[in-house]
Amino acid sequence: MTKKPKPRVKHAPQRTCVGCRLVLPKRTLIRVVRTTDGVRVDPSGKANGRGAYVHNSRDCWLRALKGALAGALRVELSASDRDQLEAFVQTLPEETPSTPEGAA
């Protein structure tokens, strides 16, 4: 009797939210990137530059903007960068993300 081959499980890259420190699949987080032009949100997730990841939640973004985001990007956020990111935060939902099963 021969064994059936097991289906191959595709690898999903994991990233840590700088706001709440949860490790989740990369596609569930929003990437912020430091470029030569400054800090900006990277919706494609593929822009060149140093990146950091944050949940799609206003609470996580507010915690990240207090200092963790600047530390992860290894840059001091300028006033214009902070204004741009705070404008993006206003478009996000207020509720906190739920913890996925198996995390924490």
Amino acid (one-letter) located at 52: A
Q: How confident is the model at residue 92 (pLDDT cuts 50, 70, 90)?
A: confident
Average pLDDT of the chain? Answer: 88
* Greatest alpha-carbon span in the chain: 69
Q: How far apart are the first and last CA of the chain?
A: 41
Ordered structural domains, the chain, with CATH = 14-89 (3.30.1230.10)
Work out the average pLDDT over 7-19. 91
User: Does residue 86 register a pLDDT over 70?
Assistant: yes
More confident residue, 59 or 93: 59
User: Does residue 6 register a pLDDT over 90?
Assistant: no
Q: How confident is the model at residue 104 (pLDDT cuts 50, 70, 90)?
A: very low
